[in-house]
Amino acid sequence: MKQVIIFAAVALLAMAPARSQGLVDPSKVAPEYREAAEKRRAEQIRQRECALKADLAKVLLRDRTDYLNHCLDAMAAKQ
């Protein structure tokens, strides 16, 4: 039993932490896909800005999706 616990602890420590998706770099994309990459990067930046606003406003996890959707809609309306 002790060996199982030690093995589980080692397995948990060896796992890499989960990382969020990185920003798309349009300069590293083939020229025919560059426009789509630029649009994706702009969308990722808007999402990160809204997530930061949610963190600063200390939005509860249960309300976060609604807050982010509202924030993204408001940003789209401004443009």
Domain ranges of the chain: 31-77
The structure's pTM equals 0.68
Is the predicted pLDDT of residue 11 greater than 70, yes or no? Answer: no
> Residue 7: its pLDDT value, please?
60
pLDDT of residue 19: 58
For the record, the structure tokens of 51 come out as 């997530």
Cβ-contact 71, 51 below 8 angstroms: no
pLDDT of residue 8: 64
Pick the closest to residue 35 from 24, 46, 51 (CA basis).
Answer: 24
- Tens of pLDDT, residues 28-72: 889 999 999 999 999 999 999 999 999 999 999 999 999 999 999
At 18 the pLDDT is 53
